[in-house]
Amino acid sequence: MSGVLALSSPGEHPPNGKPAGGEPAAAGEFAGPLPPVWRVALQGRCPRCGKGHLFTGLLTIRPRCAVCDLDLSGNDAGDGAPVAVMFILGPILVIGAFWVEFRFNPPLWVHAVIWPVVALPLAVVLMRLAKAALVALQYRNRRAEMGL
Ligand SMILES: [Zn+2]
């Protein structure tokens, strides 16, 4: 009985040296738990350390994380983010345009002024969210085959 108690004494780490319950460590030198995908997406952070900024400028992914030196140039989500944004933003804008038209019946120039002002910032914000989420998901699911 005392042997069992000694094995499970508080503060002792499992044989692999990592705290119990954590996610598997990334390949390479960084061994901390991965940040959640929602945090990577909302804050635009590195998918491995969760600290370094993911973007340089509005929509460009950095080639490397400034904190953990993760190579981000291999993370290419392709057309995934624009397609996701089109499918989300398109219906919102069309429904909005119909609603404004039938509710207020404004002159045509009002539509021409309103919708670019609404669509452009929304598209940039959604693109950042979608790109960061895709990079995070790609890093989580494909890092072994990407050699990261
Ligand atoms: Zn990092």
20-43 pLDDT, tens digit per residue, is: 444 444 444 566 788 889 989 999
Answer yes or no: is 82 within a domain: yes
Centre of ligand 1 to C-alpha 12, Å, is 29
CA of 129 to the centre of ligand 1 (A): 17
- What is d(CA 45, CA 47) in angstroms, rounded to the nearest whole number? 6
Assigned domain for 137 exists: yes
Going from the Cα of 40 to the center of ligand 1, the distance in angstroms, rounded, reads 11
CA–centroid distance, residue 71 to ligand 1 (Å): 9
Q: What is the CA(140)–ligand 1 centre distance, in A?
A: 13
45 CA → ligand 1 middle, Å: 8
127 C-alpha to center of ligand 1: Å? 20
Answer yes or no: is 53 within a domain.
yes
Predicted structure pTM score: 0.70
* Count of domains forming the chain: 1
Which range marks the domain in which residue 130 is found? 26-146
Please give, one letter per residue, the 3-state secondary structure of 69-127: CCECCCCCCCCHHHHHHHHHHHHHHHHHHHHHHHHHCCCHHHHHHHHHHHHHHHHHHHH
Give residue 20 CA to ligand 1 midpoint distance, Å: 23
pLDDT digits (tens, 9 = 90+) for 86-115: 999 999 999 999 999 999 999 999 999 999
Mean pLDDT of 125-132: 93
Residue 141 lies in a domain: yes
In a domain, 11, yes or no: no
Give the length of the chain: 148
The set of residues, in sequence order, having a beta carbon less than 8 Å from that of 110 and lying 6+ positions away, is 100
Residue 21 lies in a domain: no
Q: Is 108 inside a domain boundary?
A: yes
For 39-86, write each residue's pLDDT tens digit. 899 999 999 999 999 999 888 999 999 999 888 887 777 788 899 899
Q: Ligand 1 centre from 134 Cα, in Å?
A: 16
- How high is the pLDDT of residue 108? 95
- 120 CA to centre of ligand 1 in angstroms: 29
Residue 17 forms part of a structural domain: no
